[in-house]
Amino acid sequence: MIPATRSLLCAALLLLATSRLATGAPIANELRCQCLQTMAGIHLKNIQSLKVLPSGPHCTQTEVIATLKNGREACLDPEAPLVQKIVQKMLKGVPK
Amino acid sequence: MSVAAVFRGLRPSPELLLLGLLFLPAVVAVTSAGPEESDGDLSCVCVKTISSGIHLKHITSLEVIKAGRHCAVPQLIATLKNGRKICLDRQAPLYKKVIKKILES
């Protein structure tokens, strides 16, 4: 019984690790910073959604992660005035 | 005699019956359609929102989903520290301040 349980546990852990690698996307509750560098020049029309992560024990800096319409993700500079404008425009519901 | 004649005159023709049968499935289809239908990601996530009661210190992340083909209105979703997700009223001035405060922190 115990060896079988151990095998099941190992299989479960392996599956978890595999699924983690397969997704390739940053996990929301990851306990570290997700943005190594930020990029500028992203236009609002290319952004599908925006995720704002406040600073905390996991990361000392605020992070803004944009999901583009082509599925890719990009980190934006939270201090850039453009980011504030992008958020406000998205909330207003300006089409396209 | 006259009563029988009146009833005979009111008898529907076969063409009219066929037309009714053709319309019946359409009526059933319309009535069966419900607002709860969901096409996975191609629908609004937020059914209702709250306007107050959430403090900044309880928010671990904020997600802004732009209006598009999947949903006609923008959506503002907060993930709390206890793991729950709550939809916020994007019109509430409080949350505009929350976003601004987070970005400035």
Q: Is residue A85 part of a domain?
A: yes
Total domains in chain A come to 1
User: Are A9 and B23 within 8 A, CB to CB?
Assistant: no
Q: Which residues of A touch B62 (CB under 8 A)?
A: 51-52, 54
Q: Is residue A68 a part of any domain in this protein?
A: yes
Q: Do B63 and A52 touch (CB under 8 A)?
A: yes
Q: What are phi and psi of B33, to 5 degrees?
A: -65, 130
B18-71 tens-digit pLDDT: 777 666 665 554 433 333 334 445 578 888 788 878 777 788 898 899 888 778
- B22: in domain: no
Beta strands in A1-96 (DSSP E): 47-53, 63-68, 73-76
What is the pLDDT at residue B78? 92
Domain of B85 in residue numbering reads as 56-104
Query: Across the beta sheet with A73-76, what order do the strands follow?
Result: A73-76, A63-68, A47-53, B59-65, B75-80, B85-88
Q: Is residue A86 part of a domain?
A: yes
Q: Is residue A4 part of a domain?
A: no
Q: Any bridge partners for residue A56, and if so which?
A: A59
Residue B67 lies in a domain: yes
Tell me, yes or no, whether B63 lies in a domain. yes
Residues of B with CB under 8 A from a CB of A: 56, 59-68, 73-74, 76, 79, 90, 96, 99-100, 102-105
For B81, half-sphere exposure in the C-beta direction (CA atoms, 13 angstrom radius) is 11
Residue A74 lies in a domain: yes
On chain A, the residues whose CB falls within 8 A of the CB of B74 are 90-93
At A60 the pLDDT is 87
B60 found inside a domain: yes
Averaged pLDDT, groups of 10, chain A, 96 residues long = 72 64 47 80 84 86 90 88 82 62
B19: in domain: no
In angstroms, what separates the C-alpha of A57 from chain B's closest C-alpha? 11
The rounded distance, in Å, linking the Cα atoms of A44 and B90 is 18
Give the CATH number, domain containing residue A55. 2.40.50.40
Structural domain count of chain B: 1
The annotated binding site of B is made up of 96-102
Query: What's the pLDDT score for residue B92?
Result: 83
**B94 or B76, which is more confident:** B76
- B81 in any annotated domain: yes
Domain span holding position A88: 36-95
The stretches of chain B forming alpha helices (DSSP H) are 2-10, 14-32, 93-104
Residue A13 belongs to a domain: no
* Portion 10-39 of A in contact with B at CB < 8 A: 28-29
Is the residue at B43 inside a domain? no
Say whether B103 and A52 touch across the interface (CB within 8 A).
Answer: yes
Using only the alpha carbons of chain A, give its radius of gyration: 18
CB contact under 8 A, B66 and A56: no
- State the smallest CA–CA distance between residue A86 and chain B in angstroms: 10
Which chain B residues are closer than 8 Å to A28 by Cβ? 60-61, 79
CATH number at residue B61: 2.40.50.40
pLDDT at A25: 47
Residue A12 covered by a domain: no
